[in-house]
A and B are shown apart, each in its own frame.
Chain A
Amino acid sequence: MKKWIKKVLEYNEVKLALIFLAIVVLFSLINPDVFTVANLYALVRASATNAIYALAIMIVMCSGAFDASFAVIGSFGAYVTMYILTQNGLDPHPAIVFLISILICMALEFLNWFMVSILHLQAYIATTGTASLLKGAVLVFVSTSYIYTLPSQIGALGKTYLATAVYGSGIESQLHVSVIFIAVMYLVMHILMTYTNFGRQVYAVGADEEAAERAGINVKRIRLIVFLIAGVICGVAGILRDAVGRFSLPNPAEVVGKENISIAAVILGTGNSSKARGSALGTLLGVLLMSFISNNLILIGIPSFYVELATGVLMYIGLVGQMSNRPRRHSAKEGK
């Protein structure tokens, strides 16, 4: 029995879930409003964009690369899409809006791939370059003004709710439709990484490029697909962010910075134990944990400017807690 518990506890996801649970309980003891359906709905709304972005950075990190530009690419794709549509007075079906943004983001992630896999530039530096390039390009070539009136069909998506709940205080909170996006994308990612040949090959490339090549894996191709998938995810996240926020920004400076939450969530979700390889489930837990804390500090009476501090402390605690997963080298069990 004890052994069984130990084995389960070795999984990063289990640990993370326990930490999450502990924090939820702690917070709800301080303010019962925390543990309500209404608050859950608020959490979904607040974490939607970060949750989706986190998937993009997760798959890139699983393949052993990095992408510092995902949030900028996402907002760039969305802004350019909205700009084109509003300038031409178009109001297409939301699916078309997503599609345009996805295509733009895929092209940009292709550029990242080219620099990382073909030119062999260091991933962090190359993608940081992409980020500044885009920030500049949008201001110079597209526009410098915010778009406040989105095309009405996509705007309506931002106001589509699935359910409503009420806080103890009587304030209403609604479940935004983005919960469906999150659910579907995490499910697909989970299946992709756990049950497909492609997912296995991504992990192999992430572990050791040279060994992966020796196994007959086309490392460049795998990385290309990874970056393109990241492009798709960024395209969705960018539009969703605009729809939920009800405006589109030319300068993504405001979103940038929040990207740290996504990266932190992936790192927390991956852990640093011997089994560390990144998973959709771990990332989801990481996002929930991070968003929960930043969303609810106010509810328990801590000023919101403590959020960053709390995020940092949490990451340290999380990572140190997972250190105990490290195996003792050389088990003496073998060979008897």
Chain B
Amino acid sequence: MSMKKIVNIENMYKSFFGVVALDGMNFSMEEGEIRCLVGENGCGKSTLIKIISGFYPFDEGKLEINEKEYKSINPAESIAEGIQVIYQDFSLFDNMTVAENILMYSTVAGKKMFINNTNIKKKAIDTLKRINVSIDPDAYVSTLSVSQKQLIAICRALAQDCKLLVMDEPTTALTTHEVERLLEIVKELKAQGVAVIFVSHKLEEVLEICDSITIMRSGRNVYDGKTTERILSKEEIIYYMTGKQFSDKVYEFKSEGDIPLLQVKNYTLDGAFEDISFQIEKGEILGITGILGCGRSELAEALFGVVPADSGNVLIDGKDIGIIKNIEQAIEHEIAYVPDDRLTKGLHLEQSIADNAVIRVLGEFASRFGTLDKKALSEQKTKSLSTLSVAGLVPDNPVRSLSGGNQQKICLIKWLSTNPHILILNCPTVGVDVGAKSEIHDIIRNLARENGTAVVVISDDVYEIMQLCNRVLIMKQGRIALEKNIADTTMEYLEAALAEEKTT
């Protein structure tokens, strides 16, 4: 006797203009099951999900939903079958309020002629309460931060009763605290009989909540099993995903006693951060962490002149330049910044991958008359693109055709090719698979070691900071609460220090 299958996919094929995304994929889900779907960037996870949700038609294969076979399915039918998806790119409507967004799917599915705006707001508030977040239901989505947007995307899926909830990397922008709450909700849903497909690159999360796991590689199912029968270790999962073994290295830094490359003194931005002072030498990798709203992103943006600070000063190479007032000034001092909102702000999605990769250095290839040296430029394109391996890479295709994680890699490549003196990275590996993560870490370490770049890494992943940095600052309500050399601390200590913050 077996449980009822909510989704059953057999021998599924799907390709995009010659790029094979699914290559004979098999996948099935039972009622009330939490199944994790893992695999490298570009292995076809989002594609599989979009087929289930009716957004993409499939080329070949069998698709059964609630034991009914579909030759083709559209999003409305999929929603009617009780399938809700939290998409990797959130798919929110910027021109609507939080409440309108949260209730959008039910509004459409309800097929009523008139909508009841009071009711919509009330239901939205209930859903927000359910996951314990305080976001103004009347705020317009375009004014929200990335993590708030992700929370709204989650709320929207929860607002609708569903049988199968699909979460495509739902935690990329969330803090530890919010992730914990989300995982609790997933467990509650399971108790109510809802099945969950959970896609994530954070293997700790995956191992914590799943009943079963599907590992994909190059559009195929390479491992399928229940964790109750056999628990996979992290290393085993990585091995299935990539076919390779990875080892952990720690970054060592020896000061040469030079003047610090960057000194920040009493930096303050009203309502965001206060009295921030730190310094960083050539070749150092400094981590900055803290919970959401502690001012870490605002600090990074202030240092790049996006939203300048109100007071304080910055010294570069010992020279006082006051406040960094705008982005041009930051670039002039060879500062580069990779924002956290890469999926929505960092790239020109319709332009080609190669053009995106070199866009920051285009100026170097221009002659006095503004014409471009095509040959040198195309060499630079090849060089830049070879720094990281990207699945499904056809340099002339638009960036939009890449998987979410691979788009992020392109954004990084774009900034790395400028050879900055000071590099500020805001959550550089969120949503990137383990293999690529270690590649990115290698590149950053090399940049610091070989070129003497001073790197500031903002991250909420303590493990990443331990791996990548030689020093760490913990921020708390806009101030620096703690500074530690990585060599003198442990992961447990840092996590405890972070957790302490939450209660105060």
- Among A204, A275, A333, the residue within 8 A (CB) of B293 is A333
Nearest opposing residue in chain A for B269, CB measure = A332
- Among B76, B96, B107, B145, the residue within 8 A (CB) of A277 is B96
Whether B75 sits at the interface, judged by CB under 8 Å, is yes
Whether A327 lies near B143 (C-beta < 8 A) is: yes
Complex Cα–Cα for A204 and B108 (A):
10
Whether B292 lies near A334 (C-beta < 8 A) is: yes
Residues from 110 to 140 in A contacting B, C-beta threshold 8 Å: none
Residues from 183 to 203 in A contacting B, C-beta threshold 8 Å: 194-198, 200-201, 203
Residues from 251 to 289 in B contacting A, C-beta threshold 8 Å: 271-273
Nearest opposing residue in chain A for B273, CB measure = A332
Please indicate the chain A residues that have their CB under 8 angstroms from the CB of B477 in the complex.
Answer: 336
Please indicate the chain A residues that have their CB under 8 angstroms from the CB of B307 in the complex.
Answer: 328-330
Nearest opposing residue in chain A for B297, CB measure = A330
Known contacts A201-B108, A215-B104, A332-B478: does B142 contact A195 (CB below 8 Å)?
A: no
Whether B374 sits at the interface, judged by CB under 8 Å, is no
- Among B100, B111, B301, B306, the residue within 8 A (CB) of A200 is B100
Complex Cα–Cα for A207 and B96 (A):
9
Complex Cα–Cα for A275 and B109 (A):
25
Whether A19 sits at the interface, judged by CB under 8 Å, is no
Whether B92 lies near A196 (C-beta < 8 A) is: no
Known contacts A204-B104, A330-B297: does B113 contact A196 (CB below 8 Å)?
A: yes
Please indicate the chain A residues that have their CB under 8 angstroms from the CB of B143 in the complex.
Answer: 274, 327, 331
Whether B76 lies near A197 (C-beta < 8 A) is: no
Please indicate the chain A residues that have their CB under 8 angstroms from the CB of B148 in the complex.
Answer: 334
Interface string of B339-369 (1 = CB under 8 A from A): 0000000000000000000000000000000
Whether A211 lies near B92 (C-beta < 8 A) is: yes
- Among A200, A214, A328, the residue within 8 A (CB) of B87 is A214
Interface string of B111-148 (1 = CB under 8 A from A): 11111010000000000000000110000101101011
- Among B74, B114, B298, the residue within 8 A (CB) of A332 is B298
Q: How far is the CB of B85 from chain A (nearest CB, A)?
A: 7
Complex Cα–Cα for A212 and B107 (A):
12
Whether B175 sits at the interface, judged by CB under 8 Å, is yes
Interface string of A165-179 (1 = CB under 8 A from B): 000000000000000
Whether A216 lies near B108 (C-beta < 8 A) is: yes
Please indicate the chain B residues that have their CB under 8 angstroms from the CB of A208 in the complex.
Answer: 91-94
Whether B291 sits at the interface, judged by CB under 8 Å, is yes
Nearest opposing residue in chain A for B339, CB measure = A329
The count of residues in chain B whose C-beta lies closer than 8 Å to any C-beta of chain A is: 51
- Among A195, A327, A328, A334, the residue within 8 A (CB) of B135 is A334
Whether B105 sits at the interface, judged by CB under 8 Å, is yes
Whether B295 sits at the interface, judged by CB under 8 Å, is yes
Nearest opposing residue in chain A for B143, CB measure = A327
Whether A275 lies near B95 (C-beta < 8 A) is: yes
Whether B79 sits at the interface, judged by CB under 8 Å, is yes
Whether A308 sits at the interface, judged by CB under 8 Å, is no
Whether B370 sits at the interface, judged by CB under 8 Å, is no
Residues from 287 to 336 in A contacting B, C-beta threshold 8 Å: 327-336
Whether B94 lies near A207 (C-beta < 8 A) is: yes
Whether B246 sits at the interface, judged by CB under 8 Å, is no
Whether B110 sits at the interface, judged by CB under 8 Å, is yes
Whether A336 lies near B111 (C-beta < 8 A) is: no
Interface string of B57-99 (1 = CB under 8 A from A): 0000000000000000011101100000101000111111000
Complex Cα–Cα for A276 and B53 (A):
30
Whether B298 lies near A197 (C-beta < 8 A) is: no
Whether A200 lies near B107 (C-beta < 8 A) is: yes
Whether A216 lies near B115 (C-beta < 8 A) is: no
Please indicate the chain B residues that have their CB under 8 angstroms from the CB of A215 in the complex.
Answer: 75, 79, 91, 104-105, 108
Whether B292 lies near A214 (C-beta < 8 A) is: no
Complex Cα–Cα for A332 and B114 (A):
36
Whether A197 lies near B107 (C-beta < 8 A) is: yes
Whether A200 lies near B293 (C-beta < 8 A) is: no
Whether B96 lies near A196 (C-beta < 8 A) is: no
Please indicate the chain A residues that have their CB under 8 angstroms from the CB of B114 in the complex.
Answer: 195-197
Whether A206 lies near B95 (C-beta < 8 A) is: yes
Whether B463 sits at the interface, judged by CB under 8 Å, is no
Whether B55 sits at the interface, judged by CB under 8 Å, is yes
Q: How far is the CB of A12 from chain B (nearest CB, A)?
A: 12
Known contacts A210-B91, A335-B293: does B109 contact A216 (CB below 8 Å)?
A: yes
Whether A329 lies near B108 (C-beta < 8 A) is: no
Please indicate the chain A residues that have their CB under 8 angstroms from the CB of B306 in the complex.
Answer: 329
Please indicate the chain A residues that have their CB under 8 angstroms from the CB of B140 in the complex.
Answer: 274-275
- Among A200, A207, A331, the residue within 8 A (CB) of B145 is A331
Whether B145 lies near A334 (C-beta < 8 A) is: yes
Whether A149 sits at the interface, judged by CB under 8 Å, is no
Q: How far is the CB of A207 from chain B (nearest CB, A)?
A: 4
Known contacts A203-B93, A329-B306: does B55 contact A214 (CB below 8 Å)?
A: yes
- Among A203, A216, A276, A335, the residue within 8 A (CB) of B292 is A335
Known contacts A330-B297, A334-B145: does B95 contact A276 (CB below 8 Å)?
A: yes
Whether B117 lies near A195 (C-beta < 8 A) is: yes
Please indicate the chain A residues that have their CB under 8 angstroms from the CB of B147 in the complex.
Answer: 334-335
Whether A330 lies near B94 (C-beta < 8 A) is: no
Please indicate the chain A residues that have their CB under 8 angstroms from the CB of B293 in the complex.
Answer: 332-336
Interface string of B134-171 (1 = CB under 8 A from A): 11000010110101100000000000000000000000
Q: How far is the CB of B162 from chain A (nearest CB, A)?
A: 13
Complex Cα–Cα for A332 and B479 (A):
13
Nearest opposing residue in chain B for A275, CB measure = B140
Please indicate the chain A residues that have their CB under 8 angstroms from the CB of B95 in the complex.
Answer: 203, 206-207, 275-277
Nearest opposing residue in chain A for B100, CB measure = A200
Known contacts A216-B105, A218-B76: does B175 contact A335 (CB below 8 Å)?
A: yes
Complex Cα–Cα for A204 and B307 (A):
30
Please indicate the chain A residues that have their CB under 8 angstroms from the CB of B107 in the complex.
Answer: 197, 200
Q: How far is the CB of B97 from chain A (nearest CB, A)?
A: 9
Whether B142 lies near A274 (C-beta < 8 A) is: yes
Please indicate the chain B residues that have their CB under 8 angstroms from the CB of A206 in the complex.
Answer: 95
Complex Cα–Cα for A274 and B94 (A):
8
Complex Cα–Cα for A331 and B295 (A):
10
Instruction: Tell which of A198, A201, A331 has the most Cβ of chain B within 10 Å.
Output: A331
Known contacts A197-B107, A197-B113: does B272 contact A332 (CB below 8 Å)?
A: yes
Complex Cα–Cα for A204 and B95 (A):
8
Whether A17 sits at the interface, judged by CB under 8 Å, is no
Complex Cα–Cα for A335 and B105 (A):
26
Nearest opposing residue in chain B for A278, CB measure = B95
Whether B272 lies near A197 (C-beta < 8 A) is: no
Q: How far is the CB of A2 from chain B (nearest CB, A)?
A: 17
- Which residue numbers of A lie inside 8 Å of B, CB to CB? 194-198, 200-201, 203-204, 206-208, 210-218, 274-277, 327-336
Interchain residue pairs with CB less than 8 A apart (17): A203-B93, A204-B93, A207-B96, A214-B75, A215-B105, A215-B108, A216-B105, A216-B108, A275-B140, A277-B96, A329-B306, A330-B307, A334-B134, A334-B135, A334-B292, A335-B175, A335-B291
13 additional A-B residue pairs with CB within 8 Å, beyond A197-B115, A214-B91, A334-B135? A195-B114, A196-B115, A197-B108, A200-B96, A214-B53, A216-B78, A274-B142, A329-B307, A332-B293, A332-B298, A335-B175, A335-B292, A335-B293
